[in-house]
Amino acid sequence: MKRARKTKKRKAKHPGRRRFVICAGWVTGALVFLGITVYVAISGSIGAGLAGESRPVRVMECETRSGGKGGDQIWCAVRPVEAGDAGGLGEPMVHFGRQPGKTADVARTPWGEWVEVEPDLLSRAGLLLFPAIPLLASGVCAWLAVGALRPSEF
């Protein structure tokens, strides 16, 4: 007759290490989402015309560039409205689809790129509310990090 083998439960060598590693992962996720929130908030406020160096420009000429999976993109050379139709090079290229001769508002981002300022209220509201999504994800990650570190309190 075979004898049943008794097994011992192994105790974890370092029970706090596992909790620390899990907590560190959640904290890393929270910091990443917080960085995304800051970037999206800055980009949204510039696109809504609330921040950045904003000015009206006239579209001089446009060209089509291949855009990969999204299809072709329209890039236009612009010149400040104050400059009029004088000769010379325009400002750097701006990614938007406007007809040459039309005017638009553009703003400069802190990293040097010119972007179109959204003209309608609904687009501006979307740009300003979008940072709430990664901010919420950052909060959830921080809450899970605290829960991993102190599981008895949750």
Q: How deeply is 12 buried, as exposed, middle or buried, from its count of CB atoms within 10 A (0-12, 13-18, 19+)?
A: exposed
CB 56 within 8 A of CB 80: yes
Give the model confidence (pLDDT) of 42-74 as tens digits.
Answer: 999 998 888 878 888 887 777 777 776 777 777
Shared-domain flag, residues 58 and 97: yes
Q: Please state the pTM of the whole predicted model.
A: 0.71
Give the model confidence (pLDDT) of 14-29 as tens digits.
Answer: 667 888 888 999 999 9
| CB crowding 112-130: b at 16 or more within 10 Å, else e | ebbbbbbeeeeebeebeeb
CA–CA distance, 11 with 14 (Å, rounded to integer): 9
Number of domains into which the chain is organized: 2
pLDDT at 143: 94
Shared-domain flag, residues 86 and 71: yes
Shared-domain flag, residues 70 and 102: yes
pLDDT at 56: 83
CB 77 within 8 A of CB 95: no
CA–CA distance, 86 with 10 (Å, rounded to integer): 82
The full length of the chain comes to 154
Of residues 114 and 123, more confidence is placed in: 123
Q: Would 87 be classed as within a structural domain?
A: yes
Of residues 10 and 19, more confidence is placed in: 19
- pLDDT exceeds cutoff 70 at 78: yes
Shared-domain flag, residues 112 and 130: no
Domain residues for 59? 54-116
Locate tokens 């409205």: which residue? 81
Model confidence at 137, pLDDT cuts 50, 70, 90, reads very high
Q: Which two tokens stand for residue 53?
A: 């160096």
Of residues 100 and 30, more confidence is placed in: 30
Q: Which two tokens stand for residue 31?
A: 């910091």
